[in-house]
Amino acid sequence: MRHAMIWLLLAAWAVAVGLSVLPMLEPPTGDGFTRGLNRITGFFQFQALASLIGLVILALRGRTEGAWLRRLMLVPVLLAAALLLAIAGVLLYAAVMRP
């Protein structure tokens, strides 16, 4: 029962991450500086959903038997942390490398 719930949560996380690519296929809306922000916000909304599911998976990690499944349950949180570090790196690079 517990393994089925974990696999269901992992599948829901994978779907949320996959759906985050969908907004990039939409045409950009808005004018000037705000043109295309609808695509970025859609991406981050799905990534936020995936991160929440990842936190639920992480909370269930302590009650799971099997080392391979416990390691697999770390993947969603590690990928969310990597995304946050990449965004922070881009912002830091943009702040330091002014023209």
Task: Centre a 10 Å sphere on the Cβ of residue 76 and count the other Cβ atoms it contains.
Answer: 24
pTM for this entry: 0.84
73 contact partners, CB below 8 Å, separation of at least 6: 6, 10, 57, 58, 60, 61, 64
Average pLDDT, the chain: 89
pLDDT tens sequence across 43-84: 999 999 999 999 999 998 887 888 888 888 999 999 999 999
